[in-house]
Structure 1
Amino acid sequence: MIDTTLPLTDIHRHLDGNIRPQTILELGRQYNISLPAQSLETLIPHVQVIANEPDLVSFLTKLDWGVKVLASLDACRRVAFENIEDAARNGLHYVELRFSPGYMAMAHQLPVAGVVEAVIDGVREGCRTFGVQAKLIGIMSRTFGEAACQQELEAFLAHRDQITALDLAGDELGFPGSLFLSHFNRARDAGWHITVHAGEAAGPESIWQAIRELGAERIGHGVKAIEDRALMDFLAEQQIGIESCLTSNIQTSTVADLAAHPLKTFLEHGIRASINTDDPGVQGVDIIHEYTVAAPAAGLSREQIRQAQINGLEMAFLSAEEKRALREKVAAKQQKWMVLIAPSPFHARHKVARCLADSMPSSINSITWIA
């Protein structure tokens, strides 16, 4: 249930969590890196979640094979480009890709600043090629400690005009936001937006800390906000968005099942919450699945799903003018399709519609369209 008159966005999507299994296989062969399997079919269980993981940290280990094959800056550039290609195939109009250059650099001791530059180059070329609009969010991987995060921050600051926001991700329980106050002070001084992974593994106090101490304008996941009514009130009143990732929260065992996910309650409470993927390559899902399968299973009505789609653009780190332009671009494309279809008799309209559907990315041909 996707409203095709509205922009489709994914604003919580990890670039380094969306490395194709086929690319892992090819890069492993190219750089003579030993992999746990030598065919795509047998590799999948090692790089994608097959059954729900017991916790967030276990889930994150699934990402490791993707970055272990990043043996050169060219490899980093390739996966960045492919991320945009995947976004286009999914029918996304706008995507915010977040990435941890320290994590991507670690296996082969690549220069962290070089990884940032390679990702920027790959995303830029992908946007030119596929017509998707994208912005980059820099992640500091808290799991590796304050010094490693400082190195990542310096690499982002060297390319500050190409970075839109700063994020903190990784082991939320072991490395609380209080360790990174100075990092976020510098990010705000650079004029960046702030989003923080919080309330995923830790409780609502982690979300309060992200807002009050780190200056978060958006919260990644934020599921534990459901445990604090005052926090939910604050999020709604201050329009601090929650970047919900439905399937991911089940796979990490953050939430028991989709029926228990708090997204529906957040929307009913007036919180600006959106639907996103998280790590689609590792999860084996895409944004279409999240809207058409996960969201209904989480109890969202058609109107709530539409509101979440609206929220995705409202929450995006875009200027008011950029949002307006994107709305107009999508509306104009929709109007063009309607003009093509409207004058024809029914059988001709059906034929034109079928042609239009055939021209769309294969992954969105089966969507329940709302015109």
Structure 2
Amino acid sequence: GPLLVLSPGNVFYLSGFRGSLGFLLVFPGGKTFFFCDGRYATQSREELAVEAEIVEFEQDAVASICDVFFSSRENLLFVEDVASVGFIRRFEEKKCPVIPCPSPVNALRAVKDEAEIRAIRRAVTVAEEAFRDVLPLIQEGISEHEIAVELEYRMRRRGGEAIAFPTIVASGKRAALPHARPTSARVKKGEWVLVDWGVRVDGYCADLTRVVPVGEVQETPFRKAFAALLEAQAIALELIREGVEAKTVDQKVREVLRKSGFERYFIHSLGHGVGIDVHEEPKLSTQSTAMLHRGMVVTVEPGIYSPEWGGVRLEHMVLVEERSCKVLDTLPETFDEKGGENRA
């Protein structure tokens, strides 16, 4: 039966439409309908890159979708399982036989073509240029919030259409929070600042993390933890290639961290796919059933977090190739105490 595509990312992937409200109804054999309200009628005619009949609805999208479905004489309507319970109930009220299902589009999106990889590279470049702009500002006395605002401004100024996610900036002990919100807390000398940032360019995302020391860091666990992260990163990058199970990479990283005594402080999965959305397939986790394929773009982001002294994380973006992988970002992994770049 036909598939109703609801996720904005999947709609963009299949059609090129970049508005915030539009649905695709794709029938077996390729007949496609695009549903939107009057706000997006003109935009859809300009942006749709597929042959689709545009159906403009006034208030009730479900009624319009049902009209097209019933006229097709199909028996079942499959709906992406991102649909809310209320949305599904509206179909049931109209006696439309719907089945929520995992979207097959997600698997298609996991492997990028050359145009998508170029867009991701552009996003990585913008993110890195913006970070280099802000790096000299990461000094004693600046607040986490000010760093985040400056970084987001520079990403937009350099051509980003939007930030990919709310920027994470955490200094000192607050770096133990993997998704810390920037606060008015001011950076102190002898601390380090964890920055996780990303930007969207041409519809595709970048996602990077670096740690910047401010002055000389005396905290011994910080140095030991960061050394362990570097080793874990190196192991992961050696493993990633076509045909490797995603969970194997995560497991090997945990083994490395276990030997250095830090495994219990690694409290999230190793990475995830990046593309139209900042989190997409495949997942690099112990629960993952995915196999890595050439053309996938994934993050590799081991982290160590302790409420007692703080946390560290290092995140690369990686393109899976046939016999190896390619790191797409070029920023150094470490920075000196004055915020300068260390290139070993």
- Shorter-chain TM-score above 0.5: no
Highest RCO, 1 vs 2 (Cα 8 Å, sep ≥ 6)? 1
* Higher percent of residues as helix: 1
**Normalising by the residue count of structure 1, what TM-score does the alignment of the two structures yield?**
0.23
Task: Determine which structure has more spread, i.e. the larger CA radius of gyration.
Answer: 2
